[in-house]
Amino acid sequence: MNELPQKVAIVTGGGRDIGRAVSLKLAQEGAAVVVNYFDNPADASETARMIMDGGGKALAVQADATKADDVQKLVSTCINVFGPHIHILVNVAGGLVGRKKMEEMDEKFWDSVLDVNLKSAFLVTKAVLPHMPDGGAIVNFSSQAARDGGGFGAIAYATAKGGVLTFTRGLAKELGPRKIRVNCISPGMINTSFHNTFTKPEVRQKVAAMTPLGREGEAREVADLVLFLASARSSFVNGESIEINGGTYFV
């Protein structure tokens, strides 16, 4: 199918893992995709190349999503290359930064986690909205951690992702009159480099074994959900958080 013809999308953190899968999925459905990255140009360029090799339109753009000037550069580059409208925004950018208990955290660490997960969504959304026509779609990324407090040493991360949930709901109400839908996705254990870095293999195995479906999720499965929320198929879904965790947590 070709569900997003003539659409333009920005995917923050779009170069690898879930962000790459999302970028590829939107492009496969006809959208021109700006693949934003922070510090890994090779991955982002590879994602853009994969899209273009498949006949799609893509551009890799470096920007620190926690810096307003960088975000403005990202948006300006998008409209200069693909035209005046940005129809879809997917705020994937985020991260755990590190596992620290409350007694180990200082103000700098706390701020860095909230900035990369919550402030980034605020800054990019604010910059994109003047260029988003009525009927656009915003998809934010929260986490199962927002619901259950996260794993060991993830208090700051869980708090930031809880903020994304609230941000999503408030924005959905505010933008409703413009028919711009705002939703978020809350993944559980997904097979990505995030968990390769921050989660011990034995913990991953234990969580997978305890999951009713008996496995971790895959990035492509999350991307399919993003497509649903970004397309007309979800035309009456707004302000929602959709859990994708194989049944490990129910809202």
**Residue of 157, 184, 187, 225 with catalytic role:** 157
Q: At residue 236, does pLDDT exceed 80?
A: yes
CA distances from 189 to 84, 106, 138, 161, 230 (A): 37, 27, 23, 15, 23
Q: Where are the chain's structural domains? A: 8-190+219-244
Per-residue pLDDT, averaged over 59-74, amounts to 98
Active site residue 37: no
- Does the pLDDT of residue 162 top 70, yes or no? yes
Amino acid sitting at position 77: T
pLDDT tier, 197 (very low <50, low <70, confident <90, very high otherwise): confident
Please tell me the pTM assigned to this model. 0.95
Fold for 8-190+219-244, please state it: Rossmann fold (3.40.50)
Instruction: Say what the pLDDT of residue 198 is.
Output: 65
Q: For residue 5, count other CB atoms closer than 10 A to its CB.
A: 8
Residue 201: per-residue pLDDT: 87
Locate tokens 């397309």: which residue?
A: 231
Comparing 208 with 27, the larger pLDDT belongs to: 27
